[in-house]
Structure 1
Amino acid sequence: METADATGIPTEEALVLGRGMRLLAGAMTLACMVLVGPSAPSGALAGSLPVEPVRDVVPNRVMTWNICNPCGDEGNAGRAAEIATYAPQVIGMQEACVRDVEKIREYLRNRYGLVYHVEYGTVLRKRSRCGGMPWWPGAYGQAVLSAAPMTDHVNVEYPDGGSEDRGYMAVTTTVGGKPVRVFNTHLAHRHQADIRAGQVGVLATEVARHDRAIVLGDFNAVPDASELDRIWALAADTDPRCRPTSSGTCGITTDWQSKFDYIFLRGIAPLAHGVRDTSYSDHHLVHADLGPARVDS
């Protein structure tokens, strides 16, 4: 307690004691902050944002993944973990809600130190798909994540989407030290071959304009389906065993034992190809490492 003289003014001894107590309290507070750590910012996910990336992306590695929707958002942490296992430079997602992609990006950044730019290829707003308010439902479609910046983003809806709106998006980024056009698409339902043929025609016309292109996506068609002929004429799948002929041996990419997911390359040679089954989607995760050499004509 403070002491005072007859006038009621605290003595010098009391003032010194009071300052000492305040300094002690401040030191104890600082010690607690060091032990407990800073408060997480509003909306932050588990795990603190590292000052520097914990790890880097793998250069020239690309991935395509239909992340499955509606499959619930409880799998976003697991999806991020699957992606971080391969740490691709470029990722194409289909059946992607903007809200889910943002959560996945946060997990990748906060837990794994993997930082990505993002562009979206929204084709519809649907509350039953992506939640949101009745008057402003969530955005649904495709997304491209890239460690390098992206430019010249376009988003195109196909004239006929089939049973649901479908489209493609495209961006320009850097892969192998050179600019490359990256396309990401999701074609019409697997029982709508005629509609897919029209969609491939729209997509192939744009792909043909570029000497170097990566075409990612869920094509909802097996390799020897005739509607994919125009894409096969322009590019090759990164799986060296998979060709649009009966002699091709294509690995499956879906839970129903079909190959529907592709990484097509135009003007770029593949170095490695892999497929990973996961519990977070009815589509497998497809990844590939790319080389700088042009595909022989």
Structure 2
Amino acid sequence: MVLGRGTRWLAGTLVVACLVLVGPSAPSGALFVRALPVDAASDVVPNRVMTWNICNPCKESNVERAAEIATYAPQVIGLQEACVRDVERIRDYLKSLYGLVYHVEYGMVLQDRGRCGGVPWNPGSFGQAVLSAAPMTDPVDVEYPNGGSEDRGYMAVTTTVGGQPVRVFNTHLAQRRQEAVRADQVGVLAAEVARHDRAIVLGDFNAVPDAPELARMWALAADTDPQCRPALIGNCEPTTDWQSKFDYVFLRGVVPLEHRVHPTPYSDHHLLHTDLNTN
């Protein structure tokens, strides 16, 4: 059950009060719960999807990450550079502090103690995750044959957006200056996306809109920003601190209604969310 705005505020206030009584519990020794802005979404927005590279290793607070997500309360969130432990905490905070209940599926591509903690014989898992307010089915986790300088992959689930079933993909392509590797990765991803008449592809593609390696994605789907096309790159809103558009919500058989890009102090990538017409 999703709580209304007043109940969510009361729940957050009670949690803060309890934290004051029992003391801090964050690894850094303090847990600060930020109140949501007055214009925050009151409930999960059923036709809203979001993509966010949460930055790792950045040592940011999962409480703050949860507050950023709760402000916009999307139906579906695709996270990149995510550790399982971080996603678990973010999901717990969304529920306990803001009354937002999400299911989760993972697309982990490597075990990395340096990024995700753990012990040498059991390091944390690193990759992608999808959180959805509706249950997810038919999860797929694919590691690209060539990840480049670091393992990369995509995941896919079927879930509900705007009351309609849709296939949702989440990916993170190879780092910059690896154009040929990204082109191969897009080929793998695009072949799977092409099998679906209705698909939403979220992710950090590490490439600007007119990069040649994205050509196969543009042939299949449009970005949620109707002004952003390879030939119109000057009109594409940046999604990173270095003023490049690397983050996309590609749509196939789904109509965009409104999108927003939100810079955040908690990652070098901005939050990108969009409201959709899935009918």
Structure 2 length-normalised TM:
0.85
SS at match of 2:206: coil
Q: What is aligned with 2:258?
A: 272
Q: 1:292, CA displacement in angstroms?
A: 2.5
Q: What is aligned with 1:70?
A: 57
Q: What is aligned with 2:47?
A: 60
Match 2:138 to one of 147, 152, 163 = 152
Larger gyration radius, structure 1 or structure 2: 1
Q: 1:182, CA displacement in angstroms?
A: 0.3
Tell me if structure 1 keeps the 8 A contact 2:107–2:141: yes
Listed as ranges, the gaps of 5+ residues in structure 2 are 1-16, 34-40
Q: 1:177, CA displacement in angstroms?
A: 1.9
User: More relative contact order in 1 or in 2 (CA 8 Å, sep 6+)?
Assistant: 2
Deviations 1:6-49 (A, max 9, x none): xxxxxxxxxxxxxxxxxxxxxxxxxxxxxx98x98xx89898xx
Q: What is aligned with 1:173?
A: 159
Q: What is aligned with 1:214?
A: 200
Deviations 1:243-276 (A, max 9, x none): 1114651000011110000000000000001100
Tell me if structure 2 keeps the 8 A contact 1:94–1:143: yes
Q: Distance in 1 between matches of 2:64 and 2:275?
A: 23
Q: 1:241, CA displacement in angstroms?
A: 1.0
Deviations 1:91-119 (A, max 9, x none): 00000000001111111100100000000
Tell me if structure 2 keeps the 8 A contact 1:55–1:113: no
SS at match of 2:148: coil
Tell me which stretches of 4 or more aligned residues in structure 1 moved more than 6 Å.
43-47
Q: Distance in 1 between matches of 2:234 and 2:164?
A: 31
Match 2:231 to one of 236, 240, 245 = 245
Opposite residue 69 of structure 2, the aligned amino acid is I
Q: Distance in 2 between matches of 1:98 and 1:138?
A: 7
Q: Distance in 2 between matches of 1:99 and 1:273?
A: 29
Q: Distance in 1 between matches of 2:191 and 2:147?
A: 17
5 Å-filtered alignment, 1:33-182, equals: 55-72=42-59, 74-182=60-168
Q: What is aligned with 2:4?
A: none
Deviations 1:222-243 (A, max 9, x none): 0000100000011111111101
Structure 1 vs Structure 2: percent identity of aligned residues? 75
Deviations 1:146-195 (A, max 9, x none): 00000000100000000000000000001122210000000001110000
Opposite residue 207 of structure 1, the aligned amino acid is V
Opposite residue 258 of structure 2, the aligned amino acid is A
Q: 1:288, CA displacement in angstroms?
A: 0.3
Q: Say how many residue pairs are matched.
A: 248
Opposite residue 165 of structure 1, the aligned amino acid is D
Tell me if structure 1 keeps the 8 A contact 2:210–2:233: no
Q: Distance in 2 between matches of 1:234 and 1:247?
A: 18
Q: Distance in 2 between matches of 1:169 and 1:281?
A: 22
Tell me if structure 2 keeps the 8 A contact 1:55–1:112: no
Q: CA RMSD in A?
A: 2.0
SS at match of 1:82: helix
Q: Distance in 2 between matches of 1:255 and 1:78?
A: 18
Q: Distance in 2 between matches of 1:170 and 1:84?
A: 23
The 1:191–1:208 alpha-carbon spacing in structure 2 relative to 1, beyond 3 Å, is: same
Q: Distance in 2 between matches of 1:139 and 1:204?
A: 25
Q: Distance in 2 between matches of 1:135 and 1:109?
A: 31
Q: Distance in 2 between matches of 1:58 and 1:246?
A: 30
Q: 1:56, CA displacement in angstroms?
A: 2.4
SS at match of 1:111: helix
